[in-house]
Amino acid sequence: MSSAPHFNIDVPSFWADPYPALKQMRREAPIAFVPQLGSTIFTKRDDIFTQEKRIDVFSSHQPAGLMNTLMGHNMMRKDGEAHMSERAAMFPAVSPRTVRDTWSRQFQAHADRILDELAPAGRADLCKAFALPLSAECLKDITGLTNMRYQDMDAWSQAMIDGIANYTGNKEVEARCHAATAGIDAAIDDMIPVLTKHPNASILSVLLAAGQPMQSVRANIKLAISGGQNEPRDAISGTIWALLTHPEQLALVQGGRAKWLDVFEEYARWIAPIGMSPRRVAKPWIYNGVEFEPEDRVFFMFGSANRDEACFADPDTFDITRNTSKSIAFGAGPHYCAGAFASRAMVADVALPSIVARLKNLRLDDGEPVRIGGWAFRGLLNLPVKWDRG
């Protein structure tokens, strides 16, 4: 293991709210070995920003890692040319132009349909009634797996997320992940002949057209589902919750003094839906006095970096007027999230303005408390709200 000072955490408390422990680490041990996670954790923004780019040291290639074992060897777990070639093959499906010309229109159609059905109810759990189905329906289009139910897209995504964050080795979590990947493989098999005959802009279609090996196609589709469902789903519900609990911030955007993109970027900084990215130490290395040995496991804590007091004033405050240019919610190095353009369009251009426009006098339902959890992946577990019907 590394020579970093040890820092003990209470795992349930860390899952419920990691920010107090991360703040203490940034102050006392910015690079710390956490025995409960079996990993050395980077907590400072600038350390992560510089060292994530050192792929010769902190490698994404983790043959024995949970993601490789459970989901296959995808581009997220490759470096250099191997990563860039697969990223380039996927890019036509998620490029800014494709998002603008193809996906944004479909995103809006899904949002309008869901809100048409939802608006007369007057109350709902927006996580389950809007954020979940919207994210899943959009991801069905983007991946090309339109033969799925949106419920399966969400459940299988969550099962993979739980699986790759299963550092305590829970066998039930692992079994659910295996069942999810089998379901995705079956959906891919069903769609291959359809998209071969009728190609479109989806990830599966462009990867098939690029001649990517089938095992890589499967692994990268699973990667897109594992991150592409939970991140916008959690960002939609989390951002609405943030605005409802900070009405002065909602007033700013409704009054035209801030943009919806500002709201999304600040929420992603404040509560990063993807809070951590793991790395494997590839060679002996010394950084800031800490000695690293080959095969050490490192976690770059994006959620901590985005609350680093050295980069953000009053970082625990949700403030849509702040400069978020130093945020690394989507990563910082060559593994910067490939779906960032699609996510911004889905959340900032479609979901947030559509909800506020359609659900009048939207407010929290005080009959049920809002629950939030996670540290590797963090998001709301529910969002009970009410609005005026009519």
Domain 11-386 has CATH 1.10.630.10: yes
Report the C-alpha gap between 75 and 85 in whole angstroms.
9
Per-residue confidence in pLDDT tens, the chain, 390 aa? 899 999 999 999 999 999 999 999 999 999 999 999 999 999 999 999 999 999 899 998 766 666 667 777 777 777 788 778 888 889 999 999 999 999 999 999 999 999 999 999 999 999 999 999 999 999 999 999 999 999 999 999 989 888 887 777 889 998 999 999 999 999 999 999 999 999 999 999 999 999 999 999 999 999 899 888 888 999 999 999 999 999 999 999 999 999 999 999 999 999 988 899 889 999 999 999 999 999 999 999 999 999 999 999 999 999 999 999 999 988 776 666 767 889 999 999 999 999 999 999 999 999 999 999 999 889 999 999 999 996
- The whole-angstrom separation of Cα 351 and Cα 235 is 10
3-state secondary structure of 367: coil
Model pTM score: 0.91
Enumerate the H helices of the chain as residue ranges.
11-16, 19-28, 45-51, 66-71, 80-94, 96-98, 104-118, 126, 132-143, 150-164, 171-197, 203-209, 214-228, 230-245, 247-254, 260-270, 302-305, 340-344, 352-358
State the angle between helix axes of 80-94 and 214-228 in degrees (0 to 180), rounded to the nearest 10. Answer: 60
Distances (CA, A) of 319 to 121, 259, 262: 31, 12, 9
- Those residues with Cβ within 8 angstroms of residue 48's Cβ, 6 or more apart along the chain or in another chain: 42, 300, 301, 302, 305, 328, 332
Residue labelled with tokens 């969550």? 158
CA distance 187 to 192: 9
Beta strands at 39-42 and 297-300: parallel, antiparallel or unpaired: parallel
The domain limits of the chain are 11-386
The reported pLDDT for the residue numbered 68 is 66
- What pLDDT does residue 239 have? 97
At 167 the pLDDT is 73
Give the whole-angstrom CA distance, residue 207 versus residue 203: 6
Concatenating the DSSP letter of every residue in 292-359 gives E-TT-EEEE-HHHHTT-TTTSSSTTS--TTS--TT--TT-SSTT--TTHHHHHIIIIIIIHHHHHHHS
Contacts of 366 (CB under 8 A, 6+ apart): none
Which pLDDT does position 260 carry in this prediction? 97
Q: Where on the phi/psi map is residue 80: left (φ > 0), alpha (ψ -120 to 50), or beta?
A: left
How distant, in Å, are the alpha carbons of 91, 301, 364 from that of 260? Answer: 25, 26, 20
Alpha carbon dihedral 114, 120, 126, 132, in 10-degree steps, equals: -20
Q: What is the pLDDT of residue 64?
A: 63
Distances 329 to 183, 302, 325, 336, 378 between C-alpha atoms, Å: 29, 6, 10, 9, 12
User: Which tokens sit at 125?
Assistant: 């759990």
Rounded Cα distance, 18 and 37, in Å = 13
